[in-house]
Amino acid sequence: MSKHYLTTPIYYVNAWPHLGHAYTTLAADILARYYRLKGDEVLFLTGTDEHGAKIQQAADKAGKAPQIFVDEVSSRYKAVWEKLNISYDQFIRTTDAEHIASVQKFMERLQERKALYLEEYSGLYCVGCEKFITEKDLVDGKCPDHGTAPEKIKEKNYFFKLKEYLPFVKQLIEKDEIKILPQEKKNEVLGLFKQELEDFSLSRQNVTWGIPMPFDTAQTVYVWVDALINYISAVGYGRDEVKYKKWWPADLHLMAKEILKFHAVYWPAMLMAAGEKLPHEIFVHGYFTVNGEKMSKTKGNVLDPVAMVEKFGADATRYLLMSQFPFERDGDIKAEQFMEKYNSDLANNLGNLVSRVSQMIEKFFNGEVPEFEIEVDYDLEKINRLLEELQFSRALEEMWKIISTANQMIEEEKPWELAQNRNMDKLGRLLYTLSVMIKDLALALEPVMPETADKIQQIFKQKVIQKTVPLFPRLYVNPPKLKHNYFPKHI
Ligand code: MSP
């Protein structure tokens, strides 16, 4: 039995969760469910990133004390994950006392191992990115991602001796000891080593909403360092040796490209400096835009996963999101096409198949389909392989091929005519084959659409099969609003 420690990024709590956060979390959920079904041991970790200037500013803007503010937004994350049936094993918050203790232990360790030094530094800091940026990154004096002017910061900070570890990190990535997928992202990371990668400051003098540096409480830990440590603090770093030994290193860190440098360069270097093991794999999935534009508060095009679940249901939302485009590629979400896809793939193809077959078994065989020796020509192992490779849309395509083959068999073999001609042997064989296909399909679907898989299994495991209500009622009106209520009134 193998173990799988899977992580998502921990999300900032400056605003409510949106479809981008849901995308990564769903992918992790599908993998977690897949491996659990296989009988493997899984720890699926997600959570919220709650410290730093950006969160402090959002709390100020909302007129709330930071702790109250982060409590509210973090619970919103949990509520949204519940709606989407996200089966996380652990939800970490960087304001948890246990996490704070681990971060401080880690800082002490770096200090003991002489990986830190104090230095006066001045630079341009983008609060939206929570990182220093350079003049040449700016467009019209503003951060291109956030459209805001960076702050000039001049402080004395603890610096991390990143440069000392770079050659080792590079080598590990080259040798795939830290595997970075897809390949082009590995190349991008290796490209970073050709540029100047500088030591970075891992403490802040003027940010009070953070974890105090244990040996210099006038400083707080830089929010990105605090956040990265979540992956080890969640499994008990510095507190619970048994749990830590069992789960660390992580098997898979999932994320999108904008935070790859932190995960592929800074994080391994920090771990190495502290003498800890390194994560096995980093998978970078595509970034999506909405009708060609980046989701942003100012553009008002941020899509809300809850609105989507309310319109389509959790399973359909999971299907619609994961079948859009190959997971490793960037893509564009066209929300107005969701309804069409819902109606064709789910209501027509899958839903109709299940109701037609169950209805015919009830009608022609009083619910008891006879058994036959049959052969089917699809490869469930291929679907498993695609899921393990995080090729979710391709895995779904394979499943939908089974659905179309089944529907085609019904069209071609015309079971109602077989019944009229009392050709019960052929009819029985057909319905038995279809029921086997549907059961296999339900198994394959389980990680992606757990509720639907369960409903199908309930119907087809009965000794006497009865016709069912439609799994996916047809929808006639486009979702009026998938827009995000970005800053809810009460926050
Ligand atoms: N708090 C940091 C992560 C710290 S991890 C130690 C952070 N948070 S975030 O809230 O901005 O989440 C970023 C992540 O959300 C992305 O890496 C990706 O996983 C997901 N996505 C956000 N928008 C997305 C899209 N438009 N498309 C795909 N994924 C998206 O960065």
What does the pLDDT look like over 335-368, one tens digit per residue? 888 999 999 999 999 999 999 999 999 999 999 9
Residue 299 binned pLDDT confidence (cut-offs 50, 70, 90): confident
pLDDT digits (tens, 9 = 90+) for 420-470: 999 999 999 999 999 999 999 999 999 999 999 999 999 999 999 998 889
Q: Torsions phi, psi of 19, nearest 5?
A: -60, -30
Residue type for position 396: L
Residue whose CA lies nearest to ligand 1 atom number 23: 20
Residue whose CA lies nearest to ligand 1 atom number 28: 287
Note whether 269 and 277 are within 8 A (CB): no
Residue type for position 340: E
| Bridge partners for 204 per DSSP | 220
Task: Tell me the C-alpha distance between 361 and 352, whole Å.
Answer: 14
Q: How far is the CA of 433 from the centre of ligand 1 (A)?
A: 44
pLDDT of amino acid 145: 85
How much of the chain, in percent, has pLDDT values that exceed 70?
Answer: 97
Q: What is the best residue among 49, 102, 129, 321 to mutate for testing ligand 1's pocket, by most ligand atoms within 8 Å of CB?
A: 49
pLDDT digits (tens, 9 = 90+) for 370-395: 999 999 989 999 999 999 999 999 99
Residue whose CA lies nearest to ligand 1 atom number 5: 9
pLDDT of amino acid 296: 80
Atom number in ligand 1 closest to CA 290:
26
Q: How far is the CA of 13 from the centre of ligand 1 (A)?
A: 11
Residue whose CA lies nearest to ligand 1 atom number 25: 20
Our answer on whether the CB atom of 256 is closer than 6 Å to any ligand 1 atom is yes
Residue 488 binned pLDDT confidence (cut-offs 50, 70, 90): very low
pLDDT of amino acid 482: 59
Our answer on whether the CB atom of 244 is closer than 6 Å to any ligand 1 atom is no
Residue found by looking up tokens 């897949």 in the block: 34
C-beta pairs of 192-196 under 8 Å, 24+ apart in sequence: 192/261, 192/265, 193/166, 193/265
**Strands 203-204 and 179-181, sheet pairing:** unpaired
Give the mean pLDDT of 136-154. Answer: 90
Pick from 400, 372, 290: which is nearest to 337 by CA?
290
Our answer on whether the CB atom of 185 is closer than 6 Å to any ligand 1 atom is no
Residue whose CA lies nearest to ligand 1 atom number 17: 256
Instruction: Give the chain's mean pLDDT.
Output: 94
Q: How far is the CA of 330 from the centre of ligand 1 (A)?
A: 14
Residue 477 binned pLDDT confidence (cut-offs 50, 70, 90): low
Our answer on whether the CB atom of 228 is closer than 6 Å to any ligand 1 atom is yes
Residue whose CA lies nearest to ligand 1 atom number 20: 21
pLDDT digits (tens, 9 = 90+) for 204-258: 999 999 999 999 999 999 999 999 999 999 999 999 999 999 999 999 999 999 9
Residue 300 binned pLDDT confidence (cut-offs 50, 70, 90): confident
Q: How far is the CA of 255 from the centre of ligand 1 (A)?
A: 7
Atom number in ligand 1 closest to CA 11:
10
Q: How far is the CA of 227 from the centre of ligand 1 (A)?
A: 12
Give the mean pLDDT of 86-97. Answer: 98
Task: Tell me the C-alpha distance between 17 and 353, whole Å.
Answer: 35
Q: What is the best residue among 258, 259, 299 to mutate for testing ligand 1's pocket, by most ligand atoms within 8 Å of CB?
A: 259
Between helix 424-445 and helix 352-365 the angle, nearest 10°, is 140
Our answer on whether the CB atom of 9 is closer than 6 Å to any ligand 1 atom is yes
Task: Tell me the C-alpha distance between 468 and 15, whole Å.
Answer: 41
Task: Tell me the C-alpha distance between 25 and 17, whole Å.
Answer: 11
Q: What's the N-to-C CA distance of the chain in angstroms?
A: 45
Our answer on whether the CB atom of 227 is closer than 6 Å to any ligand 1 atom is yes
Residue type for position 8: T
Judged against a pLDDT cut of 50, whether residue 270 lies above it is answered with: yes
Structure tokens at 327: 């997971």
Residues marked active site are found at 18, 21, 126, 129, 143, 146, 294, 297
Q: How far is the CA of 265 from the centre of ligand 1 (A)?
A: 17
Our answer on whether the CB atom of 10 is closer than 6 Å to any ligand 1 atom is yes
Q: What is the best residue among 11, 230, 253 to mutate for testing ligand 1's pocket, by most ligand atoms within 8 Å of CB?
A: 11
Our answer on whether the CB atom of 20 is closer than 6 Å to any ligand 1 atom is yes
Our answer on whether the CB atom of 23 is closer than 6 Å to any ligand 1 atom is yes
Residue whose CA lies nearest to ligand 1 atom number 8: 11
Pick from 278, 270, 277: which is nearest to 113 by CA?
270
Q: What is the best residue among 21, 73, 145 to mutate for testing ligand 1's pocket, by most ligand atoms within 8 Å of CB?
A: 21
Judged against a pLDDT cut of 70, whether residue 480 lies above it is answered with: no
Backbone CA torsion sign across 62, 66, 67, 73 = positive
